[in-house]
Amino acid sequence: MPSSFLATSPIAQEIINRDLEECSTSDDEDYGQPESDSEPDVNPEEVPRHGSDSRRHSDSRRLSDLRRSSMQESAPLAFHPTGIAYGTPFLAVAPNAPLQAVPTEHDIEESLAAERSLLRDNHILPPKHRRNPPKDTLLRRVYKRIFSTKVPEDERPSETTPLLESIYEYPPQTPGVEDIQFRWEVAVANQVIKTTWQREAKTLIQYSAPLIVTFLLHYSVTLGSVLTVGRIGMLELGAINLATMTASITAYVPVQGLATCLDTLCSQAYGSGHKHLVGLQAQRMTYILWLLIPPIGLLWFFSEPILASVVPDKETVRLAALALRILIFGMPGVAAFESGKRFCQAQGLFHATTYVLLIAAPLSFFLNWFFVWQMDWHFAGAATAMAITQNLIPILLALYVYFFEGRECWKGFSKKAFHNWGPMVRLALPGMIMIEAQFSVLEILTIAAGQFGPASLAAQSVLVSVTSTAFNIPFPLAIAASTRVANLIGANLVGAARTSAKVALVAACLVGLFNLTMLTVFRHQIPLIFTDDLTVAGIAAQGMLVCAVLEVFDATAAVSHGLLRGIGRQSIGGYANLFSYYFVALPVSLGTAFWLKWELAGLWFGLTCGLAVVTAIELIYIYRADWQTAVDQAAERMQSDAANNNHK
């Protein structure tokens, strides 16, 4: 099945071309457009320097030129994980993002560092620091066996390998960019680059650690309200879960799905040198998303009779409807943030979101405490705190862009943002439909939990919060694995990609076992963090045992789906999720919950079975997949992109 990148690329190009046609020559001059569209408009003074070494920055600029001239031969090795929406991920659901984005200056620097590291690991470049040979002790051998990233001596390239003369000689100084790039291209062409599990483990940790922090920070905005409401009462805890799940299905998930098209549009606009189009695309998507607010707001405002038809407890429904009416005021911020973070990601400013959340997340806890307990607004105070935080986050992001970095892509508000909506909507709809279809199952199960009474619905809120928090560890790992495998595939390193995939799957199992252990050992203590009600805590503790087993499959399914994205087969994972949710998880959940009388534990047992099926399908496909075909398709995409750039 074709990847979403191949399917959406022509539409993305159509949008860019239409915008360029509407921009007059004088407009281009005002925006600072380059005379040649084939070269990005990069002002060296505007590019943030990572380190004080000016030679390193100069090398990255020269490598950028080399990359443009050799893009058809291999892809940049190190990319930030782009195209990922920091949101509230549940149960192996991940947006389908482009396999590669346009490299920024920071990406190019990381590419050089990653290639240099692999060349050193393969003994093709000298070590970073010249040292005297250490004594060959038992401790030294054990240390090298466990932690050394070097390819074993018996696997290093032979001296007959046609790479470079004097390849093992120690030069007086570190080779320059051209020398590194030349050795890399020759080594890749001769298929002598190998990797070790230690190198891949180190790389996955470096990629995933900051993402884990960012995802946990973002989810804490929702978690803070749940923790606060749980201290008010059982009904309130169930109501906030019903409200947030309804809000996710009817608004947050569609908004997130629609905004994923900016992953392609903004990165292509930035990479082609039309920086003003980055802001224009983000501006246009924000207006499109804001256009959804009136109908969604109308639905939320009159949601009480709708929820009452599926949830029997009237007080729970009344509180959930109250929360939804308050959350209407947070919708503009949610939409603006979805566009804003992609505006920053296209420029390589991935840390911008983290800095903003470092301020917003603690502030959300303070607002919950202030409104709920100090102002005595009780349940309404928690929803108010959430709505205020949702609007505050994009404001903080805009302030960061204005005062620190990223302003060169914002040229002010433009009437052109109200044009060219059709192609953007066509590009955005497939991603939105896929994510919405996957998330809808969770709303069905939340409604089903309400049939067992307020206590079960409150316990469902605890289980959703715990599993969602736990998922913020394997999900970033899946993003890191997807990025690394895609980079290695693009560089024609099939063996290294397979090694990285194996390391990622082992890491997923370890994460899953860690989550299983934590949920099993502390199954009685964790619910008490959310609520003082012993009845709710008891029901949640029973369900926690099922959720503990679910965590193993949840982690492996997430990473497996990430690997499928890395080899360009994300559609396989999407369809596997849909099949397992609707034809396995949903029937088993409803059957065990109502027919076998397992109630809440039965609902989560069905989800566990569904994720087990997803894991099996994806692992079998990954094992049987022809990875060389993925390499060939990646090369075709790069040739197509290069041809498009030359045509422009």
Instruction: Give domain status of residue 110, yes or no.
Output: no
Q: Count CB-CB contacts under 10 A for residue 329.
A: 17
Instruction: Give domain status of residue 121, yes or no.
Output: no
Strand, helix or coil at 258? helix
Judge whether 272 and 296 are in contact, CB under 8 Å. no
What would the two tokens of residue 623 be? 């094992």
Instruction: Give domain status of residue 487, yes or no.
Output: yes
Residue 178 CA to residue 180 CA, distance in Å, equals 6
pTM over 0.75: yes
Residue 130's Cβ-side half-sphere holds a number of Cα atoms within 13 Å equal to 7
Residue 445 CA to residue 604 CA, distance in Å, equals 9
Instruction: Give domain status of residue 242, yes or no.
Output: yes
Alpha helices, DSSP H, located in 491-533: 494-521, 526-530
Domain count, the chain: 1
Residue 576 CA to residue 622 CA, distance in Å, equals 13
Q: What is the CA radius of gyration of the chain?
A: 26
Nearest to 75 by CA among 479, 486, 565, 350: 486
Instruction: Give domain status of residue 515, yes or no.
Output: yes
Read off the amino acid at residue 531: T
Residue 5 CA to residue 345 CA, distance in Å, equals 18
- In the predicted model, residues of the chain with pLDDT beneath 70 are 1-107, 128-138, 140-145, 147, 153-175, 431, 434, 438, 630-631, 633-648
Instruction: Give domain status of residue 159, yes or no.
Output: no
What would the two tokens of residue 636 be? 């075709």
In the prediction, which pLDDT does 11 show?
A: 64
Q: Give the position of tokens 């397979």.
A: 498
Element (H, E) at 268: helix 261-271
Please report, rounded to a whole number, the percentage of residues in the chain having pLDDT higher than 90. Answer: 38
What would the two tokens of residue 14 be? 């159509």
The size of the chain, in residues, is 648
Strand, helix or coil at 82? coil
Angle value at C-alpha 647, between 645 and 648, nearest 5 degrees = 65
Residue 619's Cβ-side half-sphere holds a number of Cα atoms within 13 Å equal to 19
Residue 245 CA to residue 639 CA, distance in Å, equals 43
Residue 366 CA to residue 364 CA, distance in Å, equals 5
Judge whether 177 and 112 are in contact, CB under 8 Å. yes
Residue 499 lies in domain: 197-647
Q: Count CB-CB contacts under 10 A for residue 607.
A: 27
Nearest to 572 by CA among 633, 632, 618: 618
Nearest to 249 by CA among 87, 360, 72, 130: 87
Angle value at C-alpha 618, between 194 and 192, nearest 5 degrees = 10
Q: Count CB-CB contacts under 10 A for residue 169.
A: 8
Read off the amino acid at residue 490: G
Instruction: Give domain status of residue 259, yes or no.
Output: yes
Instruction: Give domain status of residue 102, yes or no.
Output: no
- Residue 155 DSSP one-character state: G
